[in-house]
Structure 1
Amino acid sequence: MSLFDSTPLAAASQAPRQAPLAERMRPRTLEEYVGQEHLLGPGKPLRVAIENDDATSMIFWGPPGTGKTTLAKIIAQRTQSTFIEFSAVLSGIKEIKQVMADAEKASHMGSRTILFVDEIHRFNKAQQDAFLPYVERGTIRLIGATTENPSFEIIAALLSRCRVYTLKSLTEEQIVSLLRRALTDPDRGLGSWGIAADDDALTTIASYSSGDARNSLNALEVAVRLAQGRKEHLLTKDLAAEALQQRVLLYDKQGEQHYDIISALHKSVRNSDPDAALYWMGRMLEAGEDPMYVARRVVRMAVEDIGLAAPEALNLCLSAKDAMHFLGHPEGELALAQAVVYLALAPKSNAVYMAYNMVRGDIQTTAAEPVPLHLRNAPTKLMKELDYGKGYQYAHDVEGRVADMECLPPSLAGRRYYSPTHEGREKLLAQRMEEIARIKADKRK
């Protein structure tokens, strides 16, 4: 791959007629772009950065079909930059170094390069390291796209040199507007086919897509082809449902939708109803829902609603997630079912969840006080002279292994966040907390 062999962006944006509808309808300007108002609305951070021609590298983090690639191409066009698209699945260090060398030559001639890396989380540390010197020097402007949390998947050195923008799934209304545009566009879309669609048909397709614009447009193309094959001039809900097959029947706007069903699953678990929990999980999986999405939500239930009443629940759910990933469909679904039944029957506690919410509230509303001197390390002579560590009591050296020592900042001294329930294992923790309180009280006496 060579920078000088690349096709100009303006030419590349003209998708051929045989390309999938989603590719042909890819927005070319910010005015055509739909969604992400929290980033692209007037005065919003990404909009300001684009309008000011800010050359900072960035990471787009969001679900599939939210417009990450499209946005990178629009930025390249707005800033008159050469656009190079990389796939982390297909490219290695050799290709990276070649493009970096070409970009450096181009920069000396006054040309700017945007390097777009799709699925950047798939690059290993060495591959990500290869970008660093060029990003630092401004030889390239890196735009990475990822569906995974950048904090875990992208090396700190690279992440610190990029701004991270979180993209959200498109709403059903936004998807419908995209479908209408595609249906009526005679040049890039399906306008020349002479097929209209009723509201229910478009809503049906939109609800199927789960916020993924690419999926919804490609599904529309399938449905329109089906209507044309039957010489129908109106795309109806029934035709759309037939084109989308079983999945749409379970995610119809008039029925239980994606978010309604996951809510029903979560609340059934919280209410200790294993039968209902299994049913709602089955509804999602049989509808074609991504099993890893269900797995993530099941792990969330373990930490939010079970907590320390049954701490083994978290390990069980993480094991179920791994089993699902390892076994795939349909065998792995049994592991998720096992986890869901266990969570439903397990003792419940949201004490840690509530405690952490209180902590976050205090952090946001109180001053960020310095760490008390007695809790600070004193590795140097100067620090000792400044009383770092003075008054610290080593718990292992005192009776009961508990020192009567305040560990919170002065303004929060005595604050209690965690109040354990008397459910399951947490009952033992409550007893231990009472014991610790007695030990401290005796020492004060």
Structure 2
Amino acid sequence: MEPDLFTAAAEDRQEKDPSSSPLAVRMRPRTLDEVVGQQHLLKPGSPLRRLVGEGNGGPAGPSSVILWGPPGIGKTTLAYVVSKATNKRFVELSAITAGVKEVRAVIEGARRATGGYGKETVLFLDEIHRFSKAQQDSLLPAVENRWVTLIAATTENPYFSIISPLLSRSLLLTLESLTDDDLRGLLRRALADERGLGGAVTLPEEAEAHLLRIAGGDARRALTALEAAAGAALSKQEKEISLLTLEETVDRAAVKYDRDGDQHYDVASALIKSIRGSDVDAALHYLARMIEAGEDPRFIGRRLMISASEDIGLADPTALPTAVAAAQAVAMIGFPEAALILSHATIALALAPKSNAATLAISAAQEDVRNGLAGPVPAHLRDGHYKGAAKLGHAQGYVYPHDVPGGIAAQQYAPDAVRDKHYYRPTRYGAEARYADVVERVRERLGRTAGDGGSGRSEG
């Protein structure tokens, strides 16, 4: 039998006894207007609206849609809403367990349903990126001939994980992570709606905040935890889900961390200062607190990138590429796997040799500029690529360094006001020791006298 998760019998049973289904299923939206988040995809006239027949012209749109986004943000829900709104059969397959045989069986069933009693089919294929090229190829005839409306979901970049013929025949929709406001609205609807908990319990603000943190932007996880906590509270004959009950139910202590308050900045500051101090264990502790509190992994990634330049710099030239790679990776992956990437980067930065020479160098240069130490650009360095430049003396006498043995031309580069300033004062830590030797030789070759370096100072 086809794996149809929403047969008429199942729906009748749910209507007669709603409590027989999980809360996440009972609260599944019935129309696009009930969908939480994804407002960029739900505007009037959008492809999704047209797909369900809203607007002029009736049902219209592609026969294949690819939904790309992190887990728990409503990919299955959107597919189900499309099937309900268009009165089509809804069949769900998972690429984890299904193969070509199951796909062909669904397609054949869809053809029979269409020809036998005029009922079209929505095939929702979850985690399509797990299908091989040959398995994805098996979908092409059904898409091209419109035997099914294919809605495929993936958490991985479809340009890398889905074959080009299928991608070119599909409408690609990128889903965004749910915000706290999105989830808060969903939880409050579930508490009050008769399909949900029907006002049987309340959720105080501190418990709601904790629930939002542990949900991590995942609507399914939020509703599952709410249902379990509500059951625990009612078993105690309590009408309110206390923070203690919620902690006991989800087996996760509430971390004192307000993403908009002092704790947010205090813990983030402690993370960076622990990295700067090379205390890898303390850094990992603060990283764990931020992760467990539901901090945005992109925020952590940005802080690590800043730390790589501010506190490590050229003492370890690989620090910044490591931090950048981590920040890009967590933006693509999200929690829980992002914790591994952030740990990797945090450990690397904490154990790297430290130098703030780059930080001091730009600070000193900016301070001099603010104080008026700028002056005109030396004439031989000015642009000479326009008619009349030579008459003004611009670019005249400039020595092209590549024509000089050693590649260093002994000529003035800085304006007179700062010609003897030494802003960059490298340390002797890590790889920066090599730069210290190089900059000393270069300055000597350029005839630069020892300067005061503005407000910079040597750490070496």
Q: What's the TM-score bracket when you normalise by the shorter of the two chains?
A: 0.5 to 0.7
Residues 1:106 and 2:108 are matched in the alignment: no
Residues 1:209 and 2:215 are matched in the alignment: yes
Shift of 1:18: 3.0
Residues 1:178 and 2:186 are matched in the alignment: yes
> What residue is the counterpart of 2:233 in the other structure?
227
> What residue is the counterpart of 1:418 in the other structure?
none
> What residue is the counterpart of 1:155 in the other structure?
163
> What residue is the counterpart of 2:272 in the other structure?
268
Shift in CA distance, 345/82, structure 1 to aligned 2, threshold 3 Å:
farther
1:326-355 CA distance string (max 9 Å, x none): xx99999975553342568488999xxxxx
Residues 1:86 and 2:93 are matched in the alignment: yes
Distance 2:163 2:302 in 1: 25
Shift of 1:203: 2.8
Task: Read off the aligned partner of 2:37 and give its amino acid letter.
Answer: G
1:132-161 CA distance string (max 9 Å, x none): 122122222211112222122212221111
> Which deviates more from structure 2 when the two are superposed, residues 294-303 or residues 137-146?
294-303
1:34 aligned residue (33, 36, 49): 36
1:175-214 CA distance string (max 9 Å, x none): 122112211223x21126x322323322331232122111
Are the aligned partners of 1:204 and 1:252 in contact in 2 as well (CA < 8 Å)?
no
Shift in CA distance, 211/335, structure 1 to aligned 2, threshold 3 Å:
closer
Are the aligned partners of 1:169 and 1:210 in contact in 2 as well (CA < 8 Å)?
no
Are the aligned partners of 1:21 and 1:221 in contact in 2 as well (CA < 8 Å)?
yes
Secondary structure, aligned partner of 1:128: helix
> Which deviates more from structure 2 when the two are superposed, residues 297-306 or residues 90-99?
297-306
Shift of 1:92: 0.9
> What residue is the counterpart of 1:69 in the other structure?
76
> What residue is the counterpart of 1:19 in the other structure?
21
> What residue is the counterpart of 1:341 in the other structure?
350
Secondary structure, aligned partner of 1:31: helix
Distance 1:48 1:210 in 2: 31
Shift of 1:305: 5.5
> What residue is the counterpart of 2:409 in the other structure?
none
Shift in CA distance, 229/301, structure 1 to aligned 2, threshold 3 Å:
same
Higher Cα Rg: structure 1 or 2?
2
Secondary structure, aligned partner of 2:73: coil
Distance 2:65 2:269 in 1: 36
Distance 1:255 1:342 in 2: 30
Secondary structure, aligned partner of 2:139: helix
Alignment of 1:131-142 (within 5 A): 131-142=139-150
Distance 1:262 1:163 in 2: 44
Identity value in percent: 38
The count of residues paired between Structure 1 and Structure 2 equals 350
| Structure that is richer in helix per residue | 1
Are the aligned partners of 1:270 and 1:344 in contact in 2 as well (CA < 8 Å)?
no
Task: Read off the aligned partner of 1:138 and give its amino acid letter.
Answer: R
Distance 1:348 1:295 in 2: 27
Distance 1:329 1:171 in 2: 18
- Which segments of 5 or more consecutive residues in structure 2 lack a partner in the other structure? 330-336, 360-402, 405-423, 443-460
1:284-306 CA distance string (max 9 Å, x none): 45x2879xx96997699569966
Shift in CA distance, 329/46, structure 1 to aligned 2, threshold 3 Å:
closer
Shift in CA distance, 297/86, structure 1 to aligned 2, threshold 3 Å:
farther
Secondary structure, aligned partner of 2:20: coil
Secondary structure, aligned partner of 1:103: helix
Distance 2:339 2:39 in 1: 38
- Which segments of 5 or more consecutive residues in structure 1 lack a partner in the other structure? 322-327, 351-398, 401-420, 435-445
Shift of 1:54: 2.7
Shift in CA distance, 312/266, structure 1 to aligned 2, threshold 3 Å:
farther
Task: Read off the aligned partner of 1:76 and give its amino acid letter.
Answer: S
> What residue is the counterpart of 2:138 in the other structure?
130
Alignment of 1:368-383 (within 5 A): none
Distance 2:294 2:33 in 1: 32
Shift in CA distance, 223/66, structure 1 to aligned 2, threshold 3 Å:
same
> What residue is the counterpart of 1:379 in the other structure?
none
Shift of 1:76: 0.9
Shift in CA distance, 111/233, structure 1 to aligned 2, threshold 3 Å:
closer
Distance 1:97 1:190 in 2: 40
Shift in CA distance, 282/146, structure 1 to aligned 2, threshold 3 Å:
same
1:202-235 CA distance string (max 9 Å, x none): 2331232122111111111122122222222222
Shift in CA distance, 211/265, structure 1 to aligned 2, threshold 3 Å:
farther
Structure 1 length-normalised TM? 0.63
Are the aligned partners of 1:272 and 1:345 in contact in 2 as well (CA < 8 Å)?
yes
Secondary structure, aligned partner of 2:104: helix
Are the aligned partners of 2:4 and 2:91 in contact in 1 as well (CA < 8 Å)?
yes
Distance 1:131 1:205 in 2: 40
Task: Read off the aligned partner of 1:243 and give its amino acid letter.
Answer: T
> What residue is the counterpart of 1:165 in the other structure?
173
1:375-401 CA distance string (max 9 Å, x none): xxxxxxxxxxxxxxxxxxxxxxxx99x
Structure 2 length-normalised TM? 0.62
Shift in CA distance, 31/237, structure 1 to aligned 2, threshold 3 Å:
same
Shift in CA distance, 331/105, structure 1 to aligned 2, threshold 3 Å:
closer
Secondary structure, aligned partner of 2:34: coil
Task: Read off the aligned partner of 1:46 and give its amino acid letter.
Answer: L
Distance 2:435 2:59 in 1: 58
Shift in CA distance, 35/295, structure 1 to aligned 2, threshold 3 Å:
closer
Distance 1:304 1:146 in 2: 33
Distance 2:353 2:269 in 1: 10
Shift of 1:169: 2.0
> What residue is the counterpart of 1:387 in the other structure?
none
Shift in CA distance, 120/349, structure 1 to aligned 2, threshold 3 Å:
farther
Distance 2:265 2:168 in 1: 38
Distance 2:155 2:425 in 1: 40
Secondary structure, aligned partner of 1:145: strand
Distance 2:74 2:266 in 1: 25
Are the aligned partners of 1:313 and 1:342 in contact in 2 as well (CA < 8 Å)?
no
